[in-house]
Amino acid sequence: MTDTILVVDKLKKYFPTKRGTVKAVDNISFSVATGETMGLVGESGSGKTTTAQCVVGIYPPTDGEISFKGQAVSKVFGKRPKSLKQEIRIVFQDPGSSLNPKRSIKQILSVPLKVHRVATKKDNLTKIKSLLEMVELPPEYMYKYPRAIGGGEKQMVAIARALATNPSLVLLDEPTSALDVSVQGKIINLLMKLQQDLNLTYLFITHDLSLMRNVASRVAIMYLGKLCEIAPTVEFFQNPTHPYTKMLLSAIPVVSQEEKALKPTKIASRGEIPSPVNVPPGCSFHSRCPEKMDMCAQDDPVMVEIGEGHVTRCHLFAEAKTTAPIA
């Protein structure tokens, strides 16, 4: 059985505001196997980015546990050892804002090398050249500044920076959504090649379900801070169970009759996404759900296992009566 590199157990991240408490991440559990690409999908405000920021250490969890390679890491926020920061890296959504415009590419890539002592001062230049070649950029790019290169090239530099410390787990926070369509495919192909060459594990955060069909081994759906469904990718697209999942899949644009035949029946979205400060009681999706029952407005469903590796959080499957393990 493949080793598990990351376990997120009952993770919560709440933010107090003047209007109330925002439950950005509310009691979610999942795991990621070594070498896989786990897709975390949801609309804006679903909590997927906050989840990644808790994993990488940007935010301390309000409650719950995060374990990396069997070591509990959520309780050492602010005191994470360099070895842990070296192994868990993140690529942000917008390379235009994640790269310092006043520093050259050489200076940007030198920072993680120096902080984590990956290369000696003598070998620094050689390592930078190697990183640029790894992301398919010519070595002379090290003398350029972010403003002088395109969006796709900036993201390649951001990827090189993440890989500078030889990490095991890379969190990809919508790494292509800020890019032109013409370069998105190139970035995805590069990420897949790097994963194979370097034995990387990805937690891939996106709102693009059609992208997950091609790159992820498993897919997890988030809605208003909670997980709705987790399944292996093939099972996820062939046998979606949660009404929210079906709604998302039915909205994916298709270009052929074959693709159309694979889509769930069109499900019209009802109402608007509730405010994260005022999440409805019971199932958070019930106000928009076409299959809601009386209990949905009162009782919050729990995750149940309905197949091998396939778990869902919906009262329609309560008869399964099997509380799901951390998927």
Residues, the chain, total? 327
Q: pTM here?
A: 0.92
| pLDDT reported for residue 23 | 94
pLDDT tens, residue by residue, 283-327:
999 988 988 899 999 999 999 999 999 999 999 987 665 566 677
- Rounded to 5 degrees, φ, ψ at 237 are -80, -25
Q: Can you give 227-257 as a three-state secondary structure string? A: EEEEEEHHHHHHCCCCHHHHHHHHCCCCCCH
Residues 308-319 pLDDT 10s: 999 999 999 876
- The string of DSSP letters for 158-205 reads HHHHHHTT--SEEEEESTTTTS-HHHHHHHHHHHHHHHHHHT-EEEEE
User: Which helix (H) or strand (E) segment is 209 a member of?
Assistant: helix 209-215
For residue 194, give the amino acid letter. Answer: L
| Kind and range of the H or E run holding 109 | helix 105-115
**CA-based nearest residue to 290, from 253, 251, 246, 260:** 246
> Higher-confidence residue: 23 or 274?
23
Task: Give 91-131 pLDDT, tens digit per residue.
Answer: 999 888 899 999 999 999 999 999 999 888 889 999 999 99
228/317 Cα distance (integer angstroms) = 12
Q: Is the pLDDT of residue 273 over 70?
A: yes
Residue 1's pLDDT is what?
42
Number of C-beta neighbours around residue 100 at 10 A: 12
Question: How many other C-beta atoms lie within 10 A of the C-beta of residue 198?
Answer: 13
Whether 152 shows a pLDDT value over 50: the answer reads yes
